[in-house]
Amino acid sequence: MAAPVNIVVGSHVWVEDPVEAWIDGEVSRINGLEVHVRTTKGKTVVANISKVFPQDTEAPPGGVDDMTKLSYLHEPGVLQNLAARYELNEIYTYTGNILIAINPFQRLPHLYDTHMMEQYKGAGFGELSPHVFAVADVAYRAMINEGKSNSILVSGESGAGKTETTKMLMRYLAHLGGRSGVEGRTVEQQVLESNPVLEAFGNAKTVRNNNSSRFGKFVEIQFDKSGRISGAAVRTYLLERSRVCQISTPERNYHCFYLLCAAPPEEIDRYKLRNPRSFHYLNQSDCYELEGVNDGHEYLATRRAMDIVGISEQEQDAIFRVVAAILHLGNINFAKGEEIDSSVIKDEQSRFHLNMTAELLKCDAQSLEDALIQRVMVTPEEIITRTLDPVNAVGSRDALAKTIYSRLFDWLVDKINNSIGQDPNSKSIIGVLDIYGFESFKSNSFEQFCINYTNEKLQQHFNQHVFKMEQEEYTKEEINWSYIEFVDNQDVLDLIEKKPGGIISLLDEACMFPKSTHETFAQKLYQTFKNNKRFIKPKLSRTDFTISHYAGEVNYQANLFLDKNKDYVVAEHQALLTASKCPFVVSLFPPLPEETSKSSKFSSIGSRFKLQLQSLMETLSATEPHYIRCVKPNNVLKPAIFENANIIQQLRCGGVLEAIRISCAGYPTRRTFYEFLHRFGVLAPEVLEGNYDDKTACIMILDKKGLKGYQVGKTKVFLRAGQMAELDARRAEVLGNAARTIQRQIRTYIARKEFISLRKAAIMMQSYWRGKMACKLFEQLRREAAALKIQKNLRRYVSRKSYLTVRASAITLQTGLRAMTARNEFRFRKQTKAAIIIQAHWRCYQAYSYYKSLQKAVIVTQCGWRCRVARRELRKLKMASRETGALKEAKDKLEKRVEELTWRLQLEKRLRVDLEEAKAQETAKLQETLHAMQLQIEEANAMVIREREAARKAIEEAPPVIKETPVIVQDTEKVDSLTAEVERLKASLIAQTQSAEEAKQASAAAQAQNEELTRKLGDAEKKVDQLQDSVQRLEEKLSNLESENQVLRQQALAISPTAKALSARPKTPILQRTPENGNILNGEAKKSLDSSLVLSTPREPESEEKPQKSLNEKQQENQDLLIKCISQDLGFSGGRPIAACLIYKSLLQWRSFEVERTSVFDRIIQTISAAIEVQDNNDALSYWLCNSATLLLLLQSTLKASGAASLTPQRRRSTSASLFGRMSQGLRASPQSAGFSFLNGRVLGGLDDLRQVEAKYPALLFKQQLTAFLEKIYGMIRDNLKKEISPLLGLCIQAPRTSRASLVKGRSQANAVAQQALIAHWQSIVKSLNNYLKIMRANHVPPFLVRKVFTQIFSFINVQLFNSLLLRRECCSFSNGEFVKTGLAELENWCHEATEEYAGSAWDELKHIRQAVGFLVIHQKPKKTLKEITNDLCPVLSIQQLYRISTMYWDDKYGTHSVSSEVISSMRVLMTEDSNNAVSSSFLLDDDSSIPFTVDDISKTMRQIEVSDIDPPPLIRENSGFSFLLPRAE
């Protein structure tokens, strides 16, 4: 971070502060190198100019998600950016490809749910907001694409959240590459489930963290070729063994000791445990319990975790027996023995603990005592046994405890690895390193030395990686970077690990000499490194030394270095535990080789750790590293507290500031050409107005300002440290001059505006007074004119009044005379009209009386004749019934008829066709009969008229003849009637010649008479139908009364003359073969046919089976033809799908719904399935969606479950005991008799009207399958549309950057082109919507389903756009809100054009994105209250969503701010309450892909389909088996 060179008075800067680390202010004065800064808190600070750094006043209030985008990449800028983001709960921030994670100390479940994992899956690094999932995704994608192993290094101090971050990394990697493992548990689950076990035995409470990992952990997650997790392994480093024996307040020992002390009572009794305060290894600290943690519950949870990772019950008991033994071992105290330098067990309490330890370890108590207080020395001459003094005995005791615990921890790690299982064939791994961060306390011992040595190693690896990334960036942009120096810490590593001569080597050497002490070791260090710049000797201490690490100087106390570095394998301890009777303890201490088993052997912890670290670095070097730096914001472990000094120290320790220093050594400021021109284009307006490309324009601006040392790459401008501040100073100067110019112009405008207003006021006053004088003059003139007008009007009034009096008198006289004349005329006309009416009514009455007498005579004559004929037929019928011979003759005729009909049964198909044709002919015959009767009526009327004319002519021509010629009258009555008729005709003729109006009235009367006759004819036809029904019932009763032989009686009925007479009667043609006449068919042939079906005997089985076989074959052929037909695109008829109607009418005609077994349903379903195999053929999918919906609607209104139907009138009639009744009922009940359905006209009644049928299981199953196919096709169409618009939605959420041309004023054409480009993607979406709407409308898809499709699509658009808006901060800007609002207007216009019939409520589904965008584009956000926002602006959005948008908002157009801090605080309080109430705090929306309708919804919304007039396709139109599909003649 170079010293600034362009700090001037008025500059906003950062200055150091002892409390806040850095504080911002404004430069008030500069004296040489001294800068006077007035801080925002009101105080003035004087600092050296080299310690003052410029502040970016244009930085977004919410910070940037990648700190390499900062205009000033320095320590205070980084700190301010992290603080701003942490205040908004943005805990993740990038520094290049390094992720900084600040512990929030609160639950943020919305950041880690499955929905969030899906958002980051496959997303580019930096495309979404910073997140730990993004780092894991990059590592996984790099491993898959490049085939190289990757590693993720998680570091930070205790309490920074390393362990939780590691868990999140493993969860995400499991989400990407999870695979089921043994017993249904995945590998990643087993790794995560091992965490509680490792935490119980490897974690402890420290000063800074209640659950601090006291060991380093490297988890290798192994993947196979396909990128699936195939295995895993856990490596541990440097367990803090000394904690077993030594702790201090307020720390605790390892959790497992406290968990065991809180175990159930039976286990406490088994291990003879008591309160933790009674054990020496635990009571060295005053802290025994953790706040909010129940050790008893945690013990049970740990046991369950052990079960999960595969540790058996016996092994668990053995583990906790060893833990209890360590506690008892720590309570063994020693006293001085009788001999010199000897020791004995102190008291009975210690003896009790000694015995308990031996019992728990299952070894001999005396042997344990000897191993603790004796040592065996093997010399060439003899074996010497010596005793230890109490101090050394305590050291021996503690060494045994540490060794046992260390071996136990190693065994647990090995057990976990064996349980998880490693994949030897793994091609690549992703390693997650969770290791302790840099530590610097007031008192630092050997553990801190090793930890900091580890961090120095990792920091060197980190520096190399950062420098490599810098090189790759420079190489990618093709700029010169050869002179940039690499910052390295190799000198510190040489100081620590160099062999020989390093601190670790000197420590091992000192440990090997018995007389070495910590003082001699310290003096050796002072002498060896007195000239090393990284090694410092404190002035006031003889044993301390200081090392200058990359993160700062650390002072180490060498007092315990030698003891903690020694790791003797004590031969007595080894022999004691090897001889244990407990197999588990023996497994912890396998026997040593012969040469090492007789004496103690020195082993260096430092050297062993150095080897482990080298192995780890080799593993990391073979992988592609990714870094996560965890930061603890405060030491009180509470949320919303950001301690600047603490953060800065951790950033130093984590190497983040070191990475920034590496960046500053090169080009810390990088800006794309667009960003550079957008910010500094004001420095050279002529460059923007010129026709230069972006790169040339940037170079011209830099050269104009005289900058040196910068680099221009392919897409970015690279500036050296300080150059950004210099350009900002020049820019501030230009903007200041522009501001002064604007102020001058504004002041001129205000002064001129004031002058114009004064002048306008003076003119208005003058105008007012002049107007006042003019008003007075006008008033005088007006009064004079008014007086003249009054005089004139008064004179006019007097004259007019006298004139009106004379005129009224004249009018009164005229009115009286005219009224008298009119009344006389009216009286005359009224009398004339009354006379005419009386004459007309009298003539009408005479004609009507004559007609009624004629009609009555005709009816009497007809009735007499018909009664005579009927009595004659009745006598014949009675005679026929009494004659036995006639009965036998009828029997013989019937047997012959049966043989004839047996042959005719084979011609059933032709008969059926003939019957259908006869039906049509019968209908036509009825119409012809009706027409003939109408013609007869017309002819009768015409005949009457002709007779009248003839009579009139005869009267005119024949009077002389009548007078002269004598006539012989044979019938006097007839002559009289004719004479009377002649007289009436004469009167009628005279009346017709007298008045034309009377003729018209006669015509009207005749017309009314015709209508009356027509009505009577209809009544007669109804009476005929009723008579026919009565005849049928009488025949059935007659048949039931027969007692001898039903066959003979039926034969007599079939051949009776009555049937022939009835069928031959000309006035009752309706009796032939109609649904209204019941079972009476066309002639005796049809009756004999039905009788033969029942009377066929077993002697003639061939005559029955052959027709039935041919019928089944024909039915199969019809089904094949139907399937072949519907497999083609039959199109539509009047908006109705032909295929669906064809299927329905065929199934209904064949009675397939009422049979127990049929294959036609399966074949139809298979045909539909084959038609929709091509999932992207939306035309075919829409076609079958329409057909499925229509067919389902028809089935819904037709089918009912079996047994649910009530007894219908048709069924009641079919229960007749007559022969024909039982036969027709039997035919209806037989599935094979579908071809004889024409025999029972009453049952079918026609296909035109939908009727309820009792559906069997196959029909109900077909309906369910059809419903499933409807839902499947609907889902396919919806998902196809989603796939089509998904890529476009990614382009629609963020506005494309405006070209440089639009930065220059006056280029309207360029702006128009830019605006057109902005909505191009939205128009593509609208085009896709229109295309799908066109396809579905062309295929007549029901509007209800179309509405559902677009409603779900708009919901999908709402979810995608809204989630992207909340996940990407660059999208939450003012200009982007305008862009999305423009696109939403396109969608709204589409909904309007598509009409509500097809769009429905689709527009309402966009409510989330509409309200979010509306919030982005409103002005004066800081003035809005929380109530206004939640109730008026965004009532649909949750508090979490509003908080996210409010904190991520930034105005790239006008520079306005988001809502006020009070509103933000209120939102945060509400979010905290929601989290406490266990309400889901996820701010992302979920897409609903369910089927949003049911079959009942379809039947309610679709109109009924009329299937009767559907014209069948040519393929089956000519087939006689489908004749029922042809429209019937009316």
End-to-end CA distance of the chain: 100
Q: What does the alpha-carbon distance between residue 1121 and residue 1119 come to, in Å, rounded to a whole number?
A: 5
pLDDT of residue 1316: 66
pLDDT, mean of residues 174-199: 71
Other CB atoms closer than 10 Å to residue 66's CB: what's the count? 16
Q: Cis check for the bond before 18: say yes or no (omega within 30 of 0).
A: no
Q: Which of 212, 230, 1118, 1187 is catalytic?
A: 212
CA distances (Å), origin 1287, targets 652, 1281, 1292, 1369, 1385: 43, 11, 9, 20, 20
Q: Residue-wise over 426-457: b if at least 16 C-beta within 10 A, else e?
A: bebbbbbbbbbbbbbeeebbbbbbbbbbbbbb
Q: Which of 97, 129, 149, 213 is catalytic?
A: 213
pLDDT of residue 677: 84
* DSSP letter (8 states) at residue 593: P
CB 689 within 8 A of CB 1304: yes
According to the 3-state scheme, what is the secondary structure of 358-387?
HHHHCCCHHHHHHHHHEEEEECCCCEEEEE
Q: Cis check for the bond before 109: say yes or no (omega within 30 of 0).
A: no
Token pair for 216: 């380093």
pLDDT of residue 1097: 37
pLDDT of residue 1110: 59
For the chain, give percent helix, strand, coil, nearest 5: 65, 10, 25
φ/ψ (deg, to 5) at 581: -85, 0
Token pair for 557: 């106390």
Residue 973 CA to its chain's centroid (Å): 101
Q: What does the alpha-carbon distance between residue 819 and residue 974 come to, in Å, rounded to a whole number?
A: 60
pLDDT of residue 943: 84
Does the pLDDT of residue 1067 top 50, yes or no?
no
For the segment 207-235, what is each residue's pLDDT rounded down to a tens digit?
Answer: 777 888 888 888 888 888 888 888 888 88
In terms of average pLDDT, the best of 442-446, 485-489, 825-829 is 825-829
**1490 catalytically annotated:** no
| Torsion 58-59-60-66 (CA) sign | positive
Cite the beta strand spans of 224-355 per DSSP E.
229-237, 334-336, 343-345
Can you give the pTM of this predicted structure? 0.58
For the segment 933-961, what is each residue's pLDDT rounded down to a tens digit?
Answer: 888 888 888 887 888 788 778 777 755 54
Give the amino acid at 235.
Answer: R
Q: What does the alpha-carbon distance between residue 511 and residue 601 come to, in Å, rounded to a whole number?
A: 12
Token pair for 900: 């004839």
pLDDT, mean of residues 282-299: 89
pLDDT of residue 777: 93
pLDDT, mean of residues 862-872: 92
pLDDT, mean of residues 1317-1331: 85
pLDDT, mean of residues 1035-1044: 52
Does the pLDDT of residue 1317 top 70, yes or no?
no
Does the pLDDT of residue 661 top 90, yes or no?
no
pLDDT of residue 262: 92
CB 504 within 8 A of CB 497: yes
pLDDT, mean of residues 250-276: 91
Q: How confident is the model at residue 848 (pLDDT cuts 50, 70, 90)?
A: very high
Q: Which of 81, 158, 445, 1438 is catalytic?
A: 158
Percent of the chain with pLDDT over 70: 82
**1206 catalytically annotated:** no
CA distances (Å), origin 1466, targets 194, 1027, 1372, 1427: 41, 90, 21, 10
Q: Which of 439, 447, 658, 1084 is catalytic?
A: 439
Residue indicated by tokens 């001699």: 520
**Inter-axis angle of helices 972-994 and 908-957, to 10 degrees?**
80
Q: How many residues does the chain have?
A: 1530
Token pair for 1460: 């006020």
CB 560 within 8 A of CB 517: no
Q: How confident is the model at residue 853 (pLDDT cuts 50, 70, 90)?
A: very high
Q: Which of 62, 77, 156, 159 is catalytic?
A: 159
Q: What does the alpha-carbon distance between residue 1361 and residue 1371 come to, in Å, rounded to a whole number?
A: 10
Does the pLDDT of residue 1046 top 60, yes or no?
no
Q: What does the alpha-carbon distance between residue 866 and residue 648 come to, in Å, rounded to a whole number?
A: 126
**209 catalytically annotated:** yes
Does the pLDDT of residue 845 top 80, yes or no?
yes
Residues 6+ away with beta carbon under 8 Å from 449:
503, 556, 561
Of the two residues 1052 and 810, the one the predictor is more confident about is 810
In terms of average pLDDT, the best of 351-355, 390-394, 1157-1161, 1461-1465 is 351-355
DSSP run (H or E) holding 46: strand 44-48
Across all residues in the chain, what is the average pLDDT?
79
**437 catalytically annotated:** yes
**159 catalytically annotated:** yes
For the segment 581-609, what is each residue's pLDDT rounded down to a tens digit?
Answer: 889 998 988 876 554 444 445 567 788 88
For the segment 137-173, what is each residue's pLDDT rounded down to a tens digit?
Answer: 999 988 888 888 888 988 887 778 887 888 888 888 8
Q: What does the alpha-carbon distance between residue 19 and residue 5 come to, in Å, rounded to a whole number?
A: 26
Helices first, then strands: H and E counts in the chain: 52, 28
Q: What does the alpha-carbon distance between residue 1193 and residue 1191 come to, in Å, rounded to a whole number?
A: 5
Token pair for 1085: 């042939």
Q: Which of 177, 330, 431, 437 is catalytic?
A: 437
For the segment 1421-1444, what is each residue's pLDDT rounded down to a tens digit?
Answer: 888 888 888 888 899 888 888 888
**236 catalytically annotated:** no
**213 catalytically annotated:** yes
Residues 6+ away with beta carbon under 8 Å from 341:
386, 387, 388, 389
Of the two residues 119 and 187, the one the predictor is more confident about is 119
pLDDT of residue 1481: 53
**1018 catalytically annotated:** no
Q: How confident is the model at residue 1492 (pLDDT cuts 50, 70, 90)?
A: confident
Q: What does the alpha-carbon distance between residue 188 and residue 148 come to, in Å, rounded to a whole number?
A: 20
According to the 3-state scheme, what is the secondary structure of 1452-1484?
CCCCCCCCCHHHHHHHHHHHHHHHHCCCCCCCC
CA distances (Å), origin 333, targets 209, 261, 278, 395, 661: 32, 21, 13, 11, 55
Burial class, 1034, CB count within 10 angstroms (exposed 0-12 / middle 13-18 / buried 19+): exposed
For the segment 984-994, what is each residue's pLDDT rounded down to a tens digit?
Answer: 777 776 776 67
According to the 3-state scheme, what is the secondary structure of 414-452?
HHHHHHHCCCCCCCEEEEEEECCCCCCCCCECHHHHHHH
Does the pLDDT of residue 515 top 50, yes or no?
yes
Partners of 213 in the beta sheet?
A: 203
Q: Coil, strand or helix: which one is 1280? A: helix
pLDDT of residue 1038: 56
Q: What does the alpha-carbon distance between residue 673 and residue 234 come to, in Å, rounded to a whole number?
A: 47
For the segment 624-653, what is each residue's pLDDT rounded down to a tens digit?
Answer: 888 898 998 988 878 888 888 888 888 877
Residue indicated by tokens 């006389």: 824
pLDDT of residue 101: 93
Give the distance between the most distant pair of CA atoms in the chain. Answer: 196
pLDDT of residue 746: 94
Percent of the chain with pLDDT over 90: 19
Q: Which of 209, 1224, 1267, 1446 is catalytic?
A: 209
Does the pLDDT of residue 750 top 60, yes or no?
yes
Does the pLDDT of residue 1215 top 80, yes or no?
no
Token pair for 896: 């012959």
Burial class, 1280, CB count within 10 angstroms (exposed 0-12 / middle 13-18 / buried 19+): middle
Give the amino acid at 1294.
Answer: Q
pLDDT of residue 1446: 85
Does the pLDDT of residue 980 top 70, yes or no?
yes
